[in-house]
Amino acid sequence: MTCAAAVQPTSFIRIPFDHWVLAAGDRFEDAAQCALPGDGVVPMRLHRAMRYAVLDGGKRVRPLLVYAAGEITHAEGEPLDRAALAVEFVHAYSLVHDDMPCMDNDVLRRGKPTVHIEFDEATAMLAGDALQAEAFKVIADGGLPASQTAALMRELAHASSTAGMCGGQAIDLDAVGTTPGIDQLERMHRMKTGALLKAAVLMGALSGHPAALTEATREALARYGEAVGLAFQVVDDLLDVEASTAELGKTAGKDAEHSKPTYVSLLGVQATRAWSLRLRAQALEAIDGLGPSAARLRELADFIVCRKS
């Protein structure tokens, strides 16, 4: 972690949003390059698979949320990098395992063969397992005061648990072939995708000055995180029917193919689009009182709802 980029996406200097997205993405990529074990280090195949799963791909929505939320508490670069790495490692591990034959059995992710196709199933399973451990390690090895380190790890552990991401995955699995109500679908998505996106927001804020994170601010950020977390999934469902495989970099139309219940299958395209916009409004309302330091978070709410892939 000595090769952190010179770019400081956490700075208040007002560069345009799309430039900031690129700069933050580059910064994250550099941090991930440094933080992941080298592919020349034994066990090389495992390290290659982990790097393959994380590097050079994805929209990096979670890291962007970390960097943006860090502005609220004037967080510094390296602690933010570590929080961003931690959430993205958990996200990446969940994709690797989710793509495996016993789950979604998908062969394409981010425009590349999935990890179990490029390597093998055993390596994919281990790479996922190791990325989860690496997520906690990258926080544990950061130089923040213990109270912040412990709070960050707690946030990550809860978001990854059966009350969060893993629980949502299991509910999703149980729901295949059934027709859940909209409430059940929402609960599943709040856990499966929403919990980690919300954790990204809170972990960004937890990486800065504790005094700047009042209880009210924390609650505002939690509400923002919940709204954008759910909006992200609602838009994902829309894109699965509207975008092409080339645009998505993963197999399009697979929800319908697998008879997976989605917002679109339950509500139709128009109502789903309308709902994504209401969630965006909820997210903006939640952080209305946070002033100019929440500018990036506001832009990110738009980015998440209006994205095309």
Residues that bind a second copy (CB under 8 A): 37, 42-43, 45-47, 50, 93-94, 97, 100, 102-103, 120-123, 125-126, 128-130, 132-134, 136-137, 140-141, 145-147, 149-151, 153-154, 156-158, 160-167, 169-171, 173-174
Q: Which is nearer to a second copy, 64 or 115 (CB)?
A: 115
Instruction: Tell me the CA distances in angstroms from 66 to 148, 173, 243, 307, one per residue in order.
Output: 15, 29, 27, 18
Q: Which is nearer to a second copy, 10 or 94 (CB)?
A: 94
Helix axes 165-175, 146-160, angle to 10 degrees: 0
Q: In the complex, what is the shortest distance from the CB of residue 102 to a second copy, in angstroms, rounded to a whole number? A: 4
Q: In the complex, what is the shortest distance from the CB of residue 40 to a second copy, in angstroms, rounded to a whole number? A: 13
Q: In the complex, what is the shortest distance from the CB of residue 49 to a second copy, in angstroms, rounded to a whole number? A: 9
Q: In the complex, what is the shortest distance from the CB of residue 168 to a second copy, in angstroms, rounded to a whole number? A: 8
Q: Which is nearer to a second copy, 260 or 273 (CB)?
A: 260
Residue identified by tokens 């997205």 is 21
Distance of CA 273 to the CA centre of its chain: 21
Q: Which is nearer to a second copy, 169 or 276 (CB)?
A: 169
d(CA 95, CA 115): 9
d(CA 128, CA 94): 7
Q: Which is nearer to a second copy, 210 or 249 (CB)?
A: 210
Q: In the complex, what is the shortest distance from the CB of residue 254 to a second copy, in angstroms, rounded to a whole number? A: 16
d(CA 50, CA 184): 33
Which tokens is 26 given?
Answer: 């580059």
Q: What is the gyration radius of the CA atoms in the chain, in angstroms?
A: 18
